[in-house]
Amino acid sequence: MLARVAVWEPMPTDDRDWALEAMATVRGVHGAYHLVDPATGNGLSIAFFEDEAAARAARQAIEKRAEEIGWPDTPHPAPASQTVYHVMRHA
């Protein structure tokens, strides 16, 4: 299992539910969360994937949906960093 963690400084407040919805259609996606620190406005985006193939498929689903809604037509903030981790343990 893999976890992708993106750090946002600050967490965008625009509507990104469409990205989570696109990921939810992909087999092997085990959940995605957007977290925000109310004191600073910074946040994390964390997604869990069965394997690299599921992570790639999720990225493709997001890119496809982004094109459909015209997302790339306007500038949007990007995360400060993104890291993929191998999950060692989970409950």
pLDDT in the model for residue 14: 83
Residue 6 reports pLDDT greater than 90: yes
- Is the model's pLDDT at 29 over the cut of 90? yes
Asked if residues 43 and 34 have their Cβ atoms less than 8 Å apart, the reply is yes
Distance from C-alpha of 88 to C-alpha of 72, rounded to nearest angstrom? 35
Q: What is the pLDDT of residue 5?
A: 98
> How many Å is the Cα radius of gyration of the chain?
13
Largest separation between any pair of C-alpha atoms in the chain: 41
Whether the per-residue pLDDT at 54 is higher than 90: the answer is yes
Query: Region 2-8: what's the mean pLDDT?
Result: 98
Q: Which amino acid is at 18?
A: W
Model pTM score: 0.90
Q: Is the pLDDT of residue 47 over 90?
A: yes
